[in-house]
Structure 1
Amino acid sequence: MLIAFAGLPSSGKSSTAKALGRLIHAEVHLEPEESAWPELVKERATVGAFTALTWFRTVRVPQLFKADDYRKRGGISVIDSYYDVLVDCYLGDVAFEWLISKRDPYFAAAQSMARTDWLTLPKADILVFLRLDEKVWREFMSRRDRDFDRTAELCKYFEMQAIMEEACRKAAKEHGTRLINVDQESATPEITARRVADVMGMVL
């Protein structure tokens, strides 16, 4: 089984994925922390948004394939980011202008890559969307205190959540993925993971 997380930046995807992995004894794949990002990501204004986006993709997509392979061998995999499967649904939306502008000369290439990923990347059996209200989100953002979040001014784009949730619904419909929505609270990752596991107990 392959379980993936989706939600706003700073919604607790990685922390909850780790806690869930411990709880259900699953293999866990995580996006690297900001401290492990190369300079090209931190200098995206200089090297270009597409260069930064493709670096993240070279990290996440192999993790997705490894998780898929473990699933095929009978294991349970948890992955903290389903971004590359979902991004086709919202790339180019004004709320995601910070990712890559439609005016960027590489935007068409990014859009084509996103469409191909939506169609061909391994699909999750269960997709967990962490939904949270704006107050809790800002609290989580402040707690994470990531330089990139401040530089990209992500706090201005809470409306991303509704668009991302709709992308998850589309994935559930078109890919046959089970969608679980969890209202995120100011709780420990272990508590949130337990809530996720309780819901998944109906299908595991």
Structure 2
Amino acid sequence: MFIAFAGLPSSGKSSTARALGRIMEAETLLEPEESDWPLLVQERAVMGAFTALTWFRTVRVPKLFRAEDKRTQGGSVIVDSYYDVLIGDYLGKPAFNWLMPTNDPYFDAASAMVREDWNRLPKADVLVFLYLDEDTWMDFMKKRDRDFDRSAQLESHFEMQELMLQASRRAATEHHTKLLVIEQRSGSPEDTALRVRDRLEEFA
């Protein structure tokens, strides 16, 4: 089984995926932490949004193919980010202007790339969307305390969540992926992972 996570930045995807991997004894593939990001991402205002976007894609997409291979072999694998599959549904919308504005010289190239990714990248069996209220999200953002979140002023873009959820629902329909929407709370990642595990058992 190939399980992927989606949701707002700082919604707890990586920590919940890691905890779920321990519970299920499944391989877990995680995004690099901010401390491991190269200069081209840390200085995206200078290097350009497309450069940063494609670096993240280069890091994340192999994990999707690794997950697909693991599934083919009959194993279970968890990926903490389904971003590259879903972004084709919302890139260019006002809430994501911080990611890449439509007047960026590379916007058309990025749009073409993410449309192909929507169709061609490996698809999860189950997509877990961590849904949270704005107060909980702000609390999570403060705890993570990431420089990138502040520089991009993410706290001003809570409306991203509904667009990402819409993308997840569309992916569930078009890609035949089961969608679990899990209410994220201020508890431990283990608590959330146990609730995900219980919902997954409905598909067993």
2:197: which partner in 1? 197
Give the Cα separation in 1 of the matches to 2:119 and 2:165. Answer: 19
Give the aligned length. Answer: 204
2:4: which partner in 1? 4
2:173: which partner in 1? 173
**CA offset digits 1:31-86 (Å, max 9, x no partner):** 00000000000111111000000000000000110011001000001000000000
1:105: which partner in 2? 105
Give the Cα separation in 1 of the matches to 2:82 and 2:141. Answer: 20
Q: Which amino acid aligns with 1:163?
A: L
Q: Map 1:50-199 to 2 at 5 A.
A: 50-199=50-199
Give the Cα separation in 2 of the matches to 1:158 and 1:176. Answer: 27
Give the Cα separation in 2 of the matches to 1:115 and 1:37. Answer: 25
Give the Cα separation in 2 of the matches to 1:19 and 1:47. Answer: 35
Give the Cα separation in 2 of the matches to 1:156 and 1:184. Answer: 19
Q: Percent identity?
A: 62
TM-score between both structures, scaled by the size of structure 2: 0.99
1:46: which partner in 2? 46
Give the Cα separation in 2 of the matches to 1:109 and 1:149. Answer: 25
Q: Which amino acid aligns with 1:168?
A: S
Consecutive aligned runs of 4 or more in structure 1 exceeding 2 Å deviation: none
Secondary structure, counterpart of 1:202 in structure 2: helix
**CA offset digits 1:102-149 (Å, max 9, x no partner):** 000000000000000000000000000000000000000000000000
Give the Cα separation in 2 of the matches to 1:114 and 1:164. Answer: 14
Give the Cα separation in 2 of the matches to 1:23 and 1:109. Answer: 41
1:11, distance to aligned residue in structure 2 (A): 0.1
Give the Cα separation in 1 of the matches to 2:31 and 2:110. Answer: 20
**CA offset digits 1:153-192 (Å, max 9, x no partner):** 0000000000000000000000000000000000100000
1:202, distance to aligned residue in structure 2 (A): 1.1
Structure 1: where are the runs of 5+ without partners?
A: none
Taking only aligned residues, the RMSD between alpha carbons, in angstroms, comes to 0.4
Give the Cα separation in 2 of the matches to 1:2 and 1:188. Answer: 23
Q: Which amino acid aligns with 1:32?
A: P
Give the Cα separation in 2 of the matches to 1:175 and 1:33. Answer: 29
Give the Cα separation in 2 of the matches to 1:141 and 1:104. Answer: 27
Q: Map 1:20-35 to 2 at 5 A.
A: 20-35=20-35
Structure 2: where are the runs of 5+ without partners?
A: none
Give the Cα separation in 1 of the matches to 2:138 and 2:200. Answer: 28
TM-score between both structures, scaled by the size of structure 1: 0.99
Give the Cα separation in 2 of the matches to 1:116 and 1:160. Answer: 22
